[in-house]
Amino acid sequence: MKVPILLPNIFNHPFTYESDLNLKVGDYVIVPFGKSKITGVVWDEFEKKNSKNFKVKNVLKKLNVNPLKKTTIKFLNWFSEYNLIPKGMALKLVLLSSNAVEKLKKDVFKNFEFNNKKNSIKLSEEQKVSLKKMNVSNQKFRVHVLQGTTGSGKTIVYFEALKDVISKGFQGLILLPEIGLTGQFEKKFLEFFGFNPAIWHSSITKKKKEVIWSGITSGEIKVVIGARSSLFLPFKKLGLIIVDEEHDQSFKQDEGVTYNARDMAISRASFENIPINLVTAVPSVETYENIKKGKYTVSRLKKRYQDASLPNYEIINLNETKLDKQSWISKKVIDKVNFHLDKNDQVLFFLNRRGFSPNVLCKKCFNSYSCPNCSINLVYHKNKNNLLCHYCGFKTSLKRNCVKENDCEFIFSGPGVERIYDEVKKNFPSKKIEIFSSDTMNKKDSNIKLDKIANNEVQILVGTQLISKGFHFPSLNCIVVVDIDLSSQGHDLRGAEKNLQLYHQLSGRAGRTGKPATVYFQTYNTDTKMISDLTNSNPDIFLDRELDIRRQNKLPPFQRFISLILTGSEELKLEKEAFNFKNFIEMKVEGRVLGPVSAPIFRLKKKFRMRILIRGSKSLKLQSSLNNTIYKYKFPTGIKLSVDVDPINFN
């Protein structure tokens, strides 16, 4: 009999094969393709009729793997249509290096053995009410938002909801926005449940991934805690999805296959007909609008754990206190920090900039150090003693011949966390100080560092936004925002929303165990209203205003944006092609075509970039009209198109 087999490649349709095996939809098979053998899946529809006659080849083998569920196949078909990517590439996200793992012996899953431990954590009345709303008795699709002040015990509430689901024999998935969060989170999980979850992200070894993949398909593994890619694991009996920090923009996959893991998780839950919980201190504007429309249910935790109070806010006006030359920390802040250190409080200096200095230039020739591959400045990293491009990874040393004479004499403009670290070390020489950024915390020893911080063996932290993402440091009671002015600039559609979420999350790191805590804002900006808006304990006021602005300007979530980026190595050829392409699609898509314009970062990894933006109504009509049009357009050699549905950034 003839069977349709989808292959994990750039094809948008299955291929037809012959087989005498008893095959059904979802079975994993090995088939010949060209000169190689490849893993595929029996799909739910045949390829469209092809006028050419091809010799139909035979399926070589059926693999000993539980079949991919029909609901998951439907989700992948939809995912492909929504994000304008070939179905084969959607399937590739499910497989492990384009392969399936055949059933393994039961003893390899010993480490993940489920036990129904009785835990003795007492929930507050507020937590009980939230759990009741969240834990509806039927297992049908619905989206529930658990919104809670940072430190209010949201995790324990959704652990209780998950316990109920897995005790009925279902599997659970917890999505986290950052790899760095999984270590501390795994410990918390083990304490509560008494068994190990499977941890899934890009740094897990191939061998571990094979065990987890097989355990998920066979149902031996009950809970996965993972980054974006864990959403595509082929669960045998998924019963609940939890998206923690749902507002976090790290859920957006920007390279390769682009998608928003939070939005796709909601869709997967819909296709699997299971509940999904979104967890946040400050919801994204999209989620907030769905709560207001009544599409999502919501429960709120307003009190912090053990009634700990939220931190106080204090503004240090830099117009009134002079900074020393090449200094970024005022004397007033140093006095405040000493006051906290004397009380044995932990202190955080916050600046959302990696490295030592974001701009380096020569004081003789005034040439700045910019990336030869990208249209951005190189960042100086003192720890590595090199200049680094944060986009393409280009590295170079500081030494450079000057066009005037001899070597360049460089000056550093602006601070990064390493520079603040040096200044902090000078002011507090006897204290143990650590930098907390993606450069230092995604290493093998980061769990040891986290334990030291949690045990107050580190007195002062200097950190980027990574620190705002769900870490629990019991002694942290003083946060110094080194420069709020820097982080509130920029031309980002979501700039205001990001800042609201960032400062709520950040302040939520302080005062978690009940001691009084303060967040100090150093700023030249005398508009104190902006800071009080960002830190208001009721973020709904800010979100309502933001929704009004978006509604008036027909911005997401009220319209859909699709970003098209054309890249090529010849600037003039690319520009001409971008205008040709715009003219070709303009009358054929169900939306308004804007551009083309040079992308803000107009050169990236040696390629020039032109951007076209399409805006239209929120229906799949926009995607399908664009999809049909793109496939009919032939780009010349060397020019590549990438499509981003619902873009988060506009670089």
526 plus 438 within the same structural domain = yes
pLDDT value, residue 647: 92
Amino acid at 284: S
Q: How far is Cα of residue 257 from the mean position of the Cα atoms in its chain?
A: 14
Quick check: is 266 in a domain?
yes
Strand, coil or helix: 567 = strand
Q: For the chain of 651 residues, list the mean pLDDT of each consecutive stretch of 10.
A: 95 94 96 95 84 81 97 98 96 96 93 78 90 78 92 90 92 90 83 92 92 96 95 97 94 92 98 96 95 96 76 87 85 94 93 88 86 93 90 90 86 90 94 86 71 88 83 87 63 76 82 83 78 79 92 94 96 96 95 94 95 93 92 93 91 79
pLDDT value, residue 14: 95
Quick check: is 596 in a domain?
yes
Among 37, 64, 94, give the residue marking a domain's end: 94
Q: Where are the alpha helices (DSSP H) in 231-351?
A: 261-272, 285-292, 331-342
Asked whether the beta carbons of 546 and 494 are under 8 A apart, the reply is: no
Cα distance between residue 457 and residue 347, in whole Å: 12
Among 515, 547, 579, give the residue marking a domain's end: 547
Quick check: is 430 in a domain?
yes
Strand, coil or helix: 122 = coil
291 plus 425 within the same structural domain = no
Give the domain CATH number at 180.
3.40.50.300
Residue 461, domain extent: 308-353+415-547
Quick check: is 511 in a domain?
yes
DSSP 161: H
Please choose, from the candidates 69, 99, 87, 74, the residue with its C-alpha nearest in 3D space to the C-alpha of residue 213: 99
335 plus 267 within the same structural domain = no
Quick check: is 359 in a domain?
no
Q: What is the pTM of this model?
A: 0.91
572 plus 500 within the same structural domain = no
111 plus 239 within the same structural domain = yes
DSSP 551: H
Q: What share of the chain is helix, strand, coil (3-state, %, to 5)?
A: 35, 25, 40
Please choose, from the candidates 530, 555, 537, 557, the residue with its C-alpha nearest in 3D space to the C-alpha of residue 282: 537
Give the domain CATH number at 619.
3.30.70.600
Quick check: is 486 in a domain?
yes
Strand, coil or helix: 538 = coil
634 plus 583 within the same structural domain = yes
pLDDT value, residue 138: 63
Give the domain CATH number at 32.
3.40.1440.60
pLDDT value, residue 93: 97
pLDDT value, residue 489: 46
pLDDT value, residue 488: 47
Cα distance between residue 26 and residue 100, in whole Å: 12
335 plus 466 within the same structural domain = yes
204 plus 291 within the same structural domain = yes
Q: How far is CA 458 from CA 91, 181, 341, in A?
A: 45, 19, 11
437 plus 581 within the same structural domain = no
Strand, coil or helix: 360 = strand
Quick check: is 395 in a domain?
no
Output the six-digit token pair for 271.
Answer: 């296709």
Among 94, 120, 143, give the residue marking a domain's end: 94
Domain count, the chain: 4
How many helices (H) and strands (E) are present in the chain, helices listed first?
18, 29
Asked whether the beta carbons of 230 and 176 are under 8 A apart, the reply is: no
Quick check: is 57 in a domain?
yes
112 plus 179 within the same structural domain = yes
Token pair 């609901």 is at which residue?
71
130 plus 238 within the same structural domain = yes
86 plus 139 within the same structural domain = no
Asked whether the beta carbons of 378 and 370 are under 8 A apart, the reply is: yes
